Amino acid sequence: MDTENQTHQNNTLEPLPGMFHDTLLATKFLIPASSHEIIARPHLLALLNVGLAYRLILLSAAAGFGKTTLLAQWVRSFTPGHPPVAWVTLDAGDNVPFQFWSYVLAALEQCQPGLSRLPFAAMHDTPQPSWQAMLTALINGLATRSTPLVLILDNYEEIIEPTIHALLSSLLKHSPPTLCLVLATRTDPPFPWLGSMLRHRSWNYAPNSCEQPERRSLTSSSML
C-alpha cells in the first residue's frame, strides 16, 4: 500500500495563459488527488511507463475500475516535469469542438509556452474556425520538441462529437513521436484504425485478489 502525495506540483492551480484566462475552468487541469490509501499497482505502472514510447496509451475499463486513480498515481511517480504532463478532465459540455480544443491547447500551453498561439489564432478565423489550420499549426509546434510530452484526456467517453473524434484521430496519425496521448475512457473511441491496431498491440492484465475481480485491459499503441 502507498499514499498519494497531494502536494505534487501538478496538483496546484497554475495561472492560465492570457488567451484562455477567464474562459476555461482551471480545475479541469488538476490531477485528481486521493485522501486515502491506494493499492500499489507496480505492474500497471510499469506497463504505462513502457507506453511512453508510443503515441497512444488507451486505458479502457468500466466505471469504478480506478482509471483516474491509476493515471494520477503514475504521473506522481515522475520526476517533476520529466516528462511534462498536460491533463484535462473532460465532461459532456466539452463536445463543442471550440471548447474541447481550447482546453487541450491551454493544457499543452502550460507545458510548452507559445505552442498554442498559432492554433488558437486559427480557431478564431472567420466566419468559422479553420480546424485543419489549427491542427497543422499544433502538429508543427509539437514537432519542434526534442523531448517527450504527455497529454492525458480523462473521461474521454464523454466525447461523442464526430468532429472532435476525427481531429484527434488525425492528430494521432500525424503527431511527432515526442507526443504521447493518453485516453482514459469507459468505451473505446470510434477511431477507424483502432480495432485492427488493438488486435495486434495490446496487453491484458488480470488484477490480483486485492483489486476488482474483472479483467482489466491496458493498451499501448503506436500509429504505424
CATH number at residue 63: 3.40.50
* Confidence (pTM): 0.82
Residue 158 domain flag: yes
Residue 18 domain flag: no
Q: What is the pLDDT along the chain (224 residues), one digit of tens a residue?
A: 333 333 334 555 555 656 666 789 999 999 988 666 667 778 889 989 998 988 899 998 888 888 999 999 999 999 887 899 999 999 999 999 999 999 999 999 999 999 999 999 999 887 888 999 999 999 999 999 999 999 999 999 999 999 999 999 999 989 999 999 999 999 888 887 776 565 545 444 434 433 443 334 444 443 33
Residue 172 domain flag: yes
Residue 164 domain flag: yes
Residue 11 domain flag: no
Residue 143 domain flag: yes
Residue 137 domain flag: yes
Residue 64's domain comprises 42-221
Q: Which three cell numbers stand for residue 195?
A: 480495432
Residue 60: strand pairing partners: 185, 217
Closest to 177 (Cα-Cα) out of 38, 83, 95, 87: 83
Closest to 78 (Cα-Cα) out of 21, 175, 8, 160: 8
Residue 63 domain flag: yes
Q: How many domains does the chain have?
A: 1
